[in-house]
Structure 1
Amino acid sequence: MIKNNYLLTLIFTFCSIAGWTQDKRPNVILILVDDLGFSDIEPYGASEIHTPNLKELASQGTRFQEFYNNSICAPTRASLLTGQYAHRAGLGYFNVNLGLPAYQGFLNKESPTLAEVLKKAGYSTMISGKWHVGDDYDQWPAQRGFERSFNFVGGASNFYEINDSTQATVPLYKNNKPFYLPKDRYLTDEITDQAIGFLKEQHQEKKPFFLYLAFNAPHWPLQAPEEEIQKYQRTYNVGWDSLRIKRYESAIEQGVFPSNQAITAQDTLIQKWKKLTYDEQQYWQRRQQVFAGMIDRVDQSIGKIRQTLKELKVDDNTIIIFMSDNGAQGGDRARIYTTRNAGPVGSAGSYDVQNSNWSQTGNSPLRSYKDNPYEGGIGAPFIVWYPKEVKANTIKKGTGHLIDIAPTLYDYAQAKYPNSNYGVVTHTLPGVSLRTLLSTDQKQLDRPQALFWERAGNRAVRYGKWKLVSIYRNGNKAELYDIDTDRAENHNLAAQYPQVVAQLEELYKEWAKDNDVVNYDRIKIQSSFR
């Protein structure tokens, strides 16, 4: 009997080496979109925007009411790709080097990327889309674990190339070599098709894959194919005042916002829709049509990716995760880059941005915008689809965070997180695996530790039902909110619960020390020159 077992072990080992056994670990597609508000897709309240593929992923998968990001592009991507708080990974401010380890502007070696860990675990690793966590050549995706890469390096890119020559407005790279987007080619489509090409190539390798699909839509500049824009003709003549209420009601119907909670208070800096002239209303409707068209095209792209999975017969063993890097972009109409515009909004050569008026609708029913630690800045859609294990048509209360993605994927992939990387000792992972939560009837994540944020002097702590917020421009005066009853952050309870404020402030100080967070005044002068 012992001899027979020994023989079977030898046969299994030989077959594994020879590639005769099938690796049954799941494939992973991690989809990140850019500047998408909490209620900017159908499963979270945007009933007027056509996102049938995301709607299906949500109905067949699990959504979170509360899933947190880092409020802005580069810090979010740093946490997502490493499982670390952004400061710990080296991007505590942005992708600019401010001379301190926590603010060096690129991923440090102590923080292995998802690609580096999964590659060592036997996965094929691919990226298509936006990078934004290291500008220099040695910091690019191909140098941080991605075997196949199609990307632009920085934070924003035109969706159309307006030149016929090889003088790219925003350079693209494929496997480290310059890539030139053909004129009239829409970048979202190119990102999608490059990803599909990678999937088909990888399929010949007979091993699981990890695809990081990082769309830059619907980040500015607001550009979309005209046929997508025209789908939403007259959709937005109701205006932002009415639509934000409709989105709030829809979010409640969808189950992603509590039915017993109020919408966030109206932003008093936004002009009332009915006060606009007819021409102004037409102008702002067009801008939101473009924004909706950008989201619509992303959803179509997700449909193409899913169709490819079916054609390759790997759809039943692929995890799909969808999220946004932050809430919708705030700001007023003074931010319109009129000197850079070379056409009407939406067209190639135009360079318009999203503003607070429509973005309050995008983030409805939550408060504030991108780059702020209020819920509208750090709260975003989060969908996980994996019918083999993840509960269907289920909503979890949260509180999930970017730092949980790495341990979750390593759990599914049976990947060992390394003790060292490039010859240096790695940072330990602060997050938790969401796998049990996703596969059981457990209602919410029972996280024993607090969650923390700091970005340009703005701070926040989430611990249980309590959330502490302090805004730099307001002198970091403490604000306290009970998220279980007031996720819209309408009622500051700091004066009523000074002991809670003191407890959360002490937790923040400990976290800031452990993560090399410095007072914003120390780096403010340098960052202002970037």
Structure 2
Amino acid sequence: MKIYVSALLALMGSSGVHAQKHQANDSRPNIILIMVDDLGYSDIGAYGSEIQTPNLDQLAAEGIRFREFYNNSICAPTRASLITGQYPHKAGVGYFNVNLGLPAYQGYLNKESLTFGEVLRNAGYSTLLSGKWHVGNDSLAWPNQRGFDRFYGFINGASNYFDIGKYGQAPPVELVENNKRIHLPPDKYLTDEIADHAITFLDEQSKTSKPFFLYLAFNAPHWPLQAHEADISKYKGRYNIGWDSLRKERIKRQIEFGITDPKQSVAGRDSEVAPWENVPYDEKQLWQTKMEIYAAMVDRVDQNIGKLREKLKALRKDQNTLIIFISDNGAQGGYSGASPRRPQRNSGPAGTAGSYVYQDQPWAYVSNTPHASYKNNMHEGGISAPFIAWFPKQIKANRIVKGTGHLIDLAPTFYELAKAAYPATNAGVNTNPLPGKSLVPALTGKTEQVERAEPICWERAGNRAVRKGKWKIVSSYPSYAWELYDLEKDRGETSNLAASRTDIVNELSADYFRWAEKTGVVDYEKIKPATPVGAPVQRPNRQAALGL
């Protein structure tokens, strides 16, 4: 026994020395993944916006942009895919963070789907998360229990940005820091606090010799629209031109940048969005205010990304850090549930604590330019995100490529760069294989898009889609009829070819049902909750649309 213990202690000692030596010479890249919430495809400058985002624009100018990068159209399923590299049903979040009684719909991440926190920590990385979680409310499924060394943020799907403001008071902003429940200080703004804690984490982590992985999950610009007065003032009067003219401006810039191909169609006018010239004067004033606040929220995110980059430079880690920026879904249009959303009672003016106005469909129609539809829908406006990747050592500057990536591709990308093994088993559990493909060839210029043998598939609350090559089929609940689009010519999804190309519809439909069976998808009618979350779009009521 003495010999055994001595040998064991010697082995442990030598392993520790070996690990320290390995860490001291560790040249693997640091990784920062930035996700924003409910930001439309065109809502940053590098994708055509008038909103001031100089830090993101610089990352784009010095890095790569994808024209086609896909999410899962709504918060929790997107985050399930992002964090695990799995389709959301396979990870246990096929519907939302609510339990519908089946493994694919349990509402939190299952043990078979490892998080990038778990895999990268096992590979010797510090794993840090600041911001929104939204893939498991029970404390057993919180970030620190799923592979993250440090966590600051909120667990559920939405939050106020202020506790107490100059004009009104909101319910306390409930946060968690490393498994301890806390509240947002009354003089703080949540977007700033999320970034500041990420920066603090980097300061602390710099005392180690490990590379780091930081997942920075802003909740902005998700409603309620609340922002600093100074940021709002920057946009006063900018939106008096209205949504029709603003959308034309964005399309023009997208074509100039090369984000939108002028040979492709753009989505037609949303029939439920009134022409700006027909909106009464007094209503225009509120509409303008709402977009000013929304722009201010995006602006503040960019300011904080600038602060983060300055910290990287100060730590001399910027040249060996990959930064990726994406959004969790398209901007939110329409209304959820059986009737239009009724905002909570406002206790302060729009933009302040206690204000619950939201962007709404007419401006979301601009945010998702040039695509059709909105969050929770599988048309391009619901599932298309801006994608920027910046990595001085491996990514050439100012490249715009087709891309055609998906959330499931990020985990394999990180693991390749980190030289991290994805295990077949973990703690006695057989893990789900990763369905995605590494983005490294596309990022480094070896290919113009992700090369994959299998199509990309979607299902959420009865909304379905398949993307295979240039073809896409899509259906919107409660209809089961497939629409078919040739996205090389018609990314605006203006010409439904289903009737004339039944051969393609049948092929992609068969792909969908094979995927659905393998992934655990169940017909939505069989599991539909009594009170749906993020239900299909309903026709809006004008007064509710204005937040009145």
- TM over 0.5: same fold? yes
Aligned position for 1:148 = 150
Give how far 1:529 is off. Answer: 8.6
Aligned position for 1:82 = 84
Is 1:485 paired with 2:489? yes
Aligned position for 2:71 = 69
Give how far 1:399 is off. Answer: 1.0
Is 1:201 paired with 2:232? no
Is 1:346 paired with 2:344? no
Asked if structure 2 preserves the Cα contact closer than 8 Å seen for 1:399 and 1:447, the reply is no
For structure 2, list consecutive stretches of 5 or more residues without a partner in the other structure.
Answer: 1-13, 535-548
Secondary structure of 1:204's match?
coil
Kindly provide the amino acid, as one letter, of the partner of residue 158 in structure 2: A
- Looking at structure 2, the residues matched to 274 and 158 of structure 1 have their Cα atoms a distance apart, in angstroms, of 33
TM-score (norm 2): 0.91
CA offset digits 1:361-403 (Å, max 9, x no partner): 0001000000000000000100000010012100110210000
Aligned position for 2:259 = 256
TM-score (norm 1): 0.94
Give how far 1:447 is off. Answer: 2.0
Is 1:430 paired with 2:432? no
Q: Which segment is superposed worse, 334-343 or 95-104?
A: 334-343
Kindly provide the amino acid, as one letter, of the partner of residue 125 in structure 1: T
Asked if structure 1 preserves the Cα contact closer than 8 Å seen for 2:161 and 2:173, the reply is no
Is 1:413 paired with 2:415? no
- Looking at structure 1, the residues matched to 137 and 510 of structure 2 have their Cα atoms a distance apart, in angstroms, of 35
CA offset digits 1:288-330 (Å, max 9, x no partner): 0000000000000000000000001100100000000000011
Asked if structure 2 preserves the Cα contact closer than 8 Å seen for 1:35 and 1:325, the reply is yes
Is 1:517 paired with 2:521? yes
Q: CA 1:102/1:139 → structure 2, altered by over 3 Å: closer, same or farther?
A: same
- Looking at structure 1, the residues matched to 531 and 340 of structure 2 have their Cα atoms a distance apart, in angstroms, of 19
Give how far 1:204 is off. Answer: 0.3
Q: Where do 4+ consecutive residues of structure 1 move more than 3 Å?
A: 11-21, 332-339, 525-530
Kindly provide the amino acid, as one letter, of the partner of residue 518 in structure 2: D
Aligned position for 1:285 = 288
Aligned position for 2:39 = 36
- Looking at structure 1, the residues matched to 424 and 15 of structure 2 have their Cα atoms a distance apart, in angstroms, of 29
Secondary structure of 1:322's match?
strand
Kindly provide the amino acid, as one letter, of the partner of residue 101 in structure 1: P
Is 1:363 paired with 2:365? no
Kindly provide the amino acid, as one letter, of the partner of residue 254 in structure 2: A
Q: Where do residues 221-240 of structure 1 align in structure 2 (5 Å cutoff)?
A: 221-240=224-243
Aligned position for 1:453 = 458
Kindly provide the amino acid, as one letter, of the partner of residue 245 in structure 1: K
Kindly, what percent of the aligned residue pairs are identical? 56
Q: Where do residues 114-263 of structure 1 align in structure 2 (5 Å cutoff)?
A: 114-162=116-164, 169-263=172-266
Asked if structure 2 preserves the Cα contact closer than 8 Å seen for 1:98 and 1:526, the reply is no
Kindly provide the amino acid, as one letter, of the partner of residue 293 in structure 1: A
Give how far 1:336 is off. Answer: 5.9
Asked if structure 1 preserves the Cα contact closer than 8 Å seen for 2:23 and 2:209, the reply is no
Asked if structure 1 preserves the Cα contact closer than 8 Å seen for 2:437 and 2:450, the reply is no
For structure 1, list consecutive stretches of 5 or more residues without a partner in the other structure.
Answer: 1-10
Aligned position for 1:442 = 447
- Looking at structure 2, the residues matched to 338 and 516 of structure 1 have their Cα atoms a distance apart, in angstroms, of 35
CA offset digits 1:439-497 (Å, max 9, x no partner): 12522223221000000001000000000001112x21110000000000000000110
Give how far 1:170 is off. Answer: 3.6
Asked if structure 1 preserves the Cα contact closer than 8 Å seen for 2:100 and 2:529, the reply is no
- Looking at structure 2, the residues matched to 250 and 313 of structure 1 have their Cα atoms a distance apart, in angstroms, of 35
- Looking at structure 2, the residues matched to 324 and 275 of structure 1 have their Cα atoms a distance apart, in angstroms, of 32
Asked if structure 1 preserves the Cα contact closer than 8 Å seen for 2:37 and 2:75, the reply is yes
- RMSD over aligned Cα, in angstroms? 2.0
Q: Name which of 324, 331, 336 aligns with 2:334.
A: 331
Aligned position for 2:539 = none
Aligned position for 2:26 = 23
Secondary structure of 2:392's match?
coil
Q: CA 1:443/1:19 → structure 2, altered by over 3 Å: closer, same or farther?
A: closer
Is 1:45 paired with 2:48? yes
Secondary structure of 1:512's match?
helix
- Looking at structure 1, the residues matched to 532 and 279 of structure 2 have their Cα atoms a distance apart, in angstroms, of 35
